Chain A
Amino acid sequence: MTRIRVATTWLDGCSGCHMSFLDIDENIIQLFDRIELVYSPLVDFKTIPENIDLALVEGAVSSEADKEEILTLRSRSKILISFGDCAVTANVPGMRNQFSVMETLSRAYVENSASGQILPSGSVPKLLEYSRPVHEYVAVDLFLPGCPPPAGVILSTLSDLIDGRPPSLGGKTRFGA
């Protein structure tokens, strides 16, 4: 049986959704009989491969690097899932949207900085004007809200997709928790 090629990534998020994924505990052994993790922060591949069957995207699109990552991932994936509140709504990263990029940067690097007090240039990806949900940049096939989505919902959604069933969230996860 050919295994389904799965990719995961985190953009502007806290990695909590990936931690919740790992919380499926021993189920991961059976799951990995069916899937192959071809790209993920949890494994050691540096570039996005071609022919991805299923992509899980955690985090909002906040920087030029996020944007490039999501565009490439989308172009190489059959099914793309917005994974967690940051991907779905921009959530906590989006709280900076009330302020200009310059206000945000100076708050972090000048006002609250004990030393240095230099704005970053070149060393980190350039922030976009707004931190936005994934679906404002690319087509998204499935939305999995939650902060983070519960492990059980992640497992049942992946199992449904692998078995070719339409996944049903049916109120098992919600925004904020």
Chain B
Amino acid sequence: MRYPAFLQRIADRADVQPVRILTFSINGQAVSAREDETILSVARENGISIPTLCHLDGLSERGACRLCIVEIKGSPKLSPSCVTLPRQDMEVITNSDRVLDYRRKILELLFTERNHICSVCVSNGHCDLQALTTELGMTHVHYDYLHTRHAVDASHERFSVDHNRCVLCQRCIRVCEEIEGAHTWDVMGRGYLSKVITDLNQPWGESTSCTGCGKCVQVCPTGALSEKGKSVAEMTKRRQFLPYLKLMRGDESR
């Protein structure tokens, strides 16, 4: 919860509002965490890797991709570690066969929903989705492809969006709202027919709120958002600005 600045300063003071520290375990390893830290963040601090796609350091969490699911002892369901807070004595398992199996299935389903043709993609070799196939050992897709047809919007002067390659991670939406402050991007529709839109579903080139900063392009994990003029495998993304901007603005804790 955010308070107005003068109250937030009090809320942030550790002597007035001490943050509780709790202990729990990840894969049998004892770890300690602030109560407001996510399981994902604690795992990474302790050198335990959990695959992610929609998560990006410097942006708020959305829990959109579900690739960071973990098992919590006593709970029948799997929980996304990026939006789940630890509790005292919780037992978290990040690498059981069940978890690995579901992660691979989730990844395969992402491939069936749209048309991810790595070999002709601007982001070939620099793509988070593609890298996950190697990381999770996905060699093929067990499900039928949906063969859906999605538009390409190249109306913007410098950038284009190919919805065939979008995984609906909403990084573009978050960076535009939280860092650039423009909120040009949003999402419309439901389920696999959802799509990211600019303004009120107007062509990107006609958007009146877009500042043309290109942050959305840089944070996009796939080739969905790209700079014009880039050919196959040429679109490398530069994300270093994000933690830097957060640090300079002093809102790292958000």
Contact = CB atoms under 8 A, between A and B. Distances in A.
A97 interface: yes
Given A147-B118, A177-B119, A89 B124 contact: no
B125 interface: yes
Given A98-B148, A143-B140, A177-B124, A85 B119 contact: yes
A176 B124 contact: yes
A135 B145 CA distance: 12
Contact of B120 (A92, A135, A143, A171): A92
Contacts of B131: 174
A169 B136 CA distance: 12
Given A145-B140, A174-B134, A97 B147 contact: yes
Given A174-B133, A176-B124, A176-B125, A89 B140 contact: yes
Interface in B111-129: 111, 115, 117-121, 124-125, 127
Contacts of B17: none
B140 A88 contact: yes
Which of B144, B147, B233 has the most chain A CB atoms closer than 10 A to its own CB?
B147
B115 A176 contact: no
Contacts of B134: 171, 174
A89 to B, nearest CB: 7
Given A89-B141, A171-B134, A176-B130, A94 B117 contact: yes
A49 B246 CA distance: 65
Contacts of B130: 174-176
A9 interface: no
Interface string A115-149: 00000000000000010110110001001010100
Nearest to B142: A135
Interface in B136-185: 139-141, 144-145, 147-149
A130 B119 contact: no
A63 interface: no
B3 to A, nearest CB: 47
A145 to B, nearest CB: 6
A26 B145 CA distance: 40
Interface in A37-91: 82, 85, 88-91
Given A175-B118, A175-B130, A97 B139 contact: no
Nearest to A90: B145
A89 B143 CA distance: 11
Which of A89, A132, A133, A143 has the most chain B CB atoms closer than 10 A to its own CB?
A89
A91 B117 contact: yes
A95 interface: yes
6 contacts: A89-B141, A92-B117, A97-B147, A98-B115, A174-B130, A174-B134
Contact of A135 (B118, B125, B140): B140
Contacts of A140: 140
B109 to A, nearest CB: 14
